[in-house]
Structure 1
Amino acid sequence: MRRFRHAKIVATVGPASASPEMLRLLFLAGVDTFRLNFSHGTQDDHAKVHAAVRSLEADAGRPIGILQDLQGPKIRVGTLAGGRLDLVAGETVRFVLEGGEGDKQAIPLQHPEIFEAVIPGQDLLIDDGRIRVRVGGVEDGAITAEVVTGGPISNRKGVNLPGTLLDLSPLTAKDRADLAFGLELGVDWVALSFVQKPSDVIEARGLIGDRAGIMSKIEKPQALERIDDIIRLSDAVMVARGDLGVEIPHEDVPGRQKELIRACRLAVKPVVVATQMLDSMVGAPAPTRAEASDVATAIYDGADAVMLSAESATGLYPVEAVSTMDRIIRSVEGHKLYRSIIAASQPAEEETPPHAVATATAVLAEGVQARAIVAYTTSGTTAARVARKRPAVPILALTPSRETSRRLSLLWGTHSVQTDDVDSYEEMTENAARHARDEGFAKPNDMIVAAAGIPFHTVGNTNNIRVIQV
């Protein structure tokens, strides 16, 4: 089952999409990877979805990726008297470390790391930035602040501290329990929320190892300060524009998105653009023109994948949202300016033989008008190096690893197939031609170009190109 587009679609599963029947419809509409959001639902809920996706995968005969998104150390106010407070601009409020149901002089904020980090003059943003208060004084177990932008707050609303590095592990006790559960299930990707520094990724790697790919969610300004190291240590990156757009000015988000996509492409790491891409489709069967343009911009920028959140998790039109995203991607990739825009954003080549061979493979395939590039890959690295070039020719990734084939469902332009490993040059040629034909990429007498590492079974050693006539 081929997707006639290069960029991939990630869809979040929730009450609107958790049934096996709906998961099948979403897959047929275009979903390549399903996201399990562990901020919501129970472990049992996610286990049922995981089993349904794996059953769907077996029926479809195509690898499907599963992304476990951990909740992370989300900072929230506690329980409020009557469940709500109305803050008025100019008034003074007080946050306390200890307390029961809070009023304006004792709003519970049970996060000691905040009390250790904030200083007078800094702002606290509540409820995705709708409410802004400015710290006036910090004492033992209490913060006094002036309300700058007022409005209602209710129980458990989130709190952001722009520009403040908090001494927080990216993995709470809940996250560690959820992570162990997800790895036992066999998820393909683990998304880390609120990554601030490279050591956060290192900490997660110590727990995950190579059992799943690590996707760092960029939603803190502190992460942007160490972004090159974070990307290098991660297996993929998510541009999580929700919290990022709260902590940095809205007008800076589009530029940061472009920077992140370019940096990930240079580093040969898949990058996902997420949050509110088709948000109006939570309650409407069609997107706004601005939302369609937002998805299109991510595709023109060269993102590997775009993601649906509430649109597919709780919305009224999950299938329509996926279908809309699929149509937008295909329209952009078929536009007459797409190839020139993608070529203009081509990162500088790294001066290493594997990168040079992958680049030459893409150029050669386009030059001989090959029907496909066949990338033999154990870890996925060869396919990723070819995809970095963003060739016009589709990439058929052949791998003996079931786990790699599933992770590649996130990689730009790549159609992955799990197959037996090859031991000789002749077997490589025959296998490439057969799969290109069987998967619908090529017909007899068509040309394909194969990239591989010689000797075989060597991870990351892309050093050989072969032009093959089917």
Structure 2
Amino acid sequence: MLETRRTKIVATLGPSSNSYETIRALTLSGANVFRMNFSHGTHGDHAKIHGIIRAVEQELGRPITIIADLQGPKLRVGTFEGGVAELIEGQSFAFTSAETQGTSSSVSLPHPEIFNSLQPGDYLLVDAGRIRLRTVSVTIDEIRTEVIAGGTIRDRKGVNLPDRALDIPALTTKDRVDLIFALDLGVDWVALSFVQKVADISSVRAIIGTSAKIVAKIEKPVALDSFPAILHATDAIMVARGDLGVECDWSDVPAVQRDIVAKCRAAGKPVNVATQMLESMISNPVPTRAEVPDVANAIFEGADAVMLSAESAAGKYPREAIEAMASIATSAERAPLYRQELKDGVLLDTAEDSTSIASAACLIANMRRAYCIVTYTESGATALRVAKSRPDVPVLAICPSRETARSLALVWGVTPTVSRNKAEFMLFREGEIPESLSKSGNIPRDKPIVVTSGSPLGVPGCTDSIKIACIDAVAPN
């Protein structure tokens, strides 16, 4: 069936949602993409979840995207005597390279790259920014700081450095092991954490090849400085507002999010907005009134997808959270403001024939009030070009491979389906629906469809024609 909701929903899986029954229910409630978070769980856990998703996909007959989210380099303090220490505003506090038990005046920081990069005046943020310290002096053995915002600091809490791009590898040893395992499983996308520069993406691309696509997670302000190059190098972007909101001023996050989404749309790259979207639904069956417009704003901006994290992975109400997000998306997309916001976005603007055809197909579909746009896409590029213009109608993407169809389940407005018979697709141009695909589109007889194709069919970059077709009959197999 053609999906009428354009914005896709990503659900993180975890202890609350790792059974067949729950994953099936989440799919039927509106989840298009499932995220396996490799910061938690064992390889055995992820293999089990992957198998369940594929079994649900087989039962329901619809492509489902799987994202493997790598942990990335985590910076953490050492341990304290008694497990905790109290820091008071204005006091002096030291981070030392020595592996000693921490006190109220110092703690071990086992990351030499921080000592090599930090400069006086730089900030260190501990425990998601709850504790803020400003660097006074740095040696190879000690970082002396002043406590700007104090509180209780506990063992192994995370450290963020908003002012520095650290010279650390994009992939830790754990990440490399997890990546190879995820690729062997057969995931569709790999999310790369704490991206700072293009080289981070290149190093992962060298391992992945064409086995999966890459999502660059924007979590550090330094990534914003290199964002145009990062966007060009990656396949998709995730606005990971958790760490991003810690490392830059939290009041800047809405503007940063809007800017990133706009740039991704202009480039035709999928963009996913994530973190704390329905946070209260971890423990409550309905969202707060403040969370609803937060999700809606991401949809009004034209994001391809919105994501649930702990709400679906560890919360009490994973199905209700998916239903709430789907309801918000459906309501937002019906609003006149939504279409106006999308029309204000950037259309396709390159000189290539295939991109011109995609843009024209959207304009024709809008003018003729077509039921949908049908396109044959070998690699997914044609569907991405069409989705970039955010047409008023759904996009039915006929894909010769399951891998392409699965990757497109993350893309705005696209309903992917698998058909390896090119002749079936050509029936659309003659106003007929192949019987094997009739249920995929559920296309009525009283509306035209817009069909794009290429010569020769199935060759990437060769899309060169548009036809307006009226469905007259269902063709036999």
Letter in 2 for 1:403: E
Give, in angstroms, the shift of residue 440 of structure 1.
4.0
Indicate the residue corresponding to 2:198 in structure 1. 198
Match of 2:5 in 1: 5
Distance apart, 1:424 and its partner CA = 9.4
Per-residue Cα deviation, 1:424-452 (whole angstroms, up to 9, x for no partner): 98556369733664324412353111112
Bigger drift between 105-114 and 265-274 goes to 105-114
The 5 A counterparts of 1:128-277 are 128-277=128-277
- Aligned twin of 1:438: 439
Check conservation: 1:402, 1:418, Cα contact below 8 A: yes
Does the 8 A contact of 2:431 with 2:469 survive in 1? no
- Identical residues among aligned pairs (%): 48
Distance, in Å, in 2 between the alignment partners of 1:232 and 1:432 is 39
How far did residue 367 of structure 1 move? 1.8
Partner of 1:74: 74
- Deviates most, 373-382 or 104-113: 104-113
d(CA) in 1 for partners of 2:335, 2:388: 20
Aligned partner of 2:449 in structure 1 is: 448
| Matched letter for residue 379 of structure 1 | S
Distance 2:177 2:460 in 1: 32
Using the alignment, how far apart are the partners of 1:194 and 1:265 within structure 2? 22
Contact 1:94/1:104 (CA < 8 Å) preserved in 2?
A: no
Q: What SS is found at the alignment partner of 2:463?
A: coil
Query: Shift of the alpha carbon at 1:140?
Result: 2.2
Amino acid in structure 1 at the alignment position of 2:173: A
* Per-residue deviation, 1:423: 5.8
How many residues were matched structurally?
Answer: 470
Q: Take 1:187 and 1:413, find their aligned partners in 2: how far apart are those partners? A: 22
Tell me the alpha carbon deviations over residues 336-364 of structure 1, each in whole angstroms, 9 at most, x when there is no partner. 22211211123462233222110100111
| Greater Cα shift, 331-340 or 8-17 | 331-340
Q: Distance in 1 between matches of 2:376 and 2:2?
A: 18
One-letter identity of the residue aligned with 1:433: I
Unaligned runs of 5+ in 1: none
Question: Could you tell me how far apart the structure 2 residues matched to 1:51 and 1:301 are?
Answer: 34
Q: SS of 1:223's equivalent?
A: helix
CA shift, 1:242, in A, is 0.6
SS of residue paired to 1:201 = helix
Read off the aligned partner of 1:173 and give its amino acid letter. T
1:105 deviates by: 3.9
C-alpha deviations, 1:86-116, integer Å up to 9, x for none? 1111111111123133223441111110000
Sort the Cα spacing of 1:305 and 1:376 in 2 relative to 1 into closer, same or farther, 3 A.
same
* Residue 374 (structure 1) aligned with residue 374 (structure 2): yes
Distance 2:454 2:271 in 1: 25
Once the two structures are TM-superposed, the CA of residue 118 in structure 1 deviates from its matched residue by 0.3
- The equivalent residue for 2:406 is 406
Distance 2:426 2:326 in 1: 38
Whole-angstrom CA distance in 1 between matches of 2:61 and 2:426? 27
Amino acid at match of 1:197: K
Report deviation, 1:252: 1.1
Residue 310 of structure 1 is matched in structure 2 by: 310
Q: Which amino acid aligns with 2:72?
A: G
For 2:153 and 2:370, locate their aligned partners in 1 and report how far apart those are by CA, in whole Å.
59
TM-score between the two structures when normalised by the length of structure 2 = 0.95
The offset of 1:262, in angstroms, is 1.0
Secondary structure, aligned partner of 1:398: strand
Q: How many Å separate the matches in 2 of 1:204 and 1:49? A: 24
Q: Distance in 1 between matches of 2:430 and 2:157?
A: 59
User: How has the CA–CA distance of structure 1 residues 2 and 83 changed in structure 2, closer, same or farther, with 3 Å as cutoff?
Assistant: farther
- Relative to structure 2, which stretch is displaced further, 178-187 or 257-266? 257-266
Aligned-residue offset at 1:462? 2.2
Give the distance between the partners of 2:15 and 2:462, measured in 1 at CA: 44
Q: Which residue of 1 aligns with 2:475?
A: none
Q: 1:368 offset after TM fit, Å?
A: 1.9
What SS does the corresponding residue of 1:452 show, helix, strand or coil?
Answer: strand
**Structure 1 residue 416 displacement after superposition:** 0.3
Opposite residue 9 of structure 2, the aligned amino acid is I
Q: Which residue of 2 aligns with 1:339?
A: 339
Relative to structure 1, the CA distance from residue 120 to residue 320 in structure 2 (aligned partners, 3 Å threshold; closer, same or farther) is same
Conserved 8 A contact 1:113-1:167? yes
Q: Secondary structure at the match of 2:409?
A: helix
Distance 1:271 1:11 in 2: 15
Q: Which residue of 1 aligns with 2:65?
A: 65
Contact preservation (8 Å) 1:423, 1:456: no
Amino acid at match of 2:286: A
Q: What's the CA shift string for 1:369-419, capped at 9, x where partnerless?
A: 211100110111100100011011110000101101001110000000010
Q: Distance in 2 between matches of 1:2 and 1:97?
A: 58
1:75, distance to aligned residue in structure 2 (A)? 0.8
Distance 2:393 2:384 in 1: 14
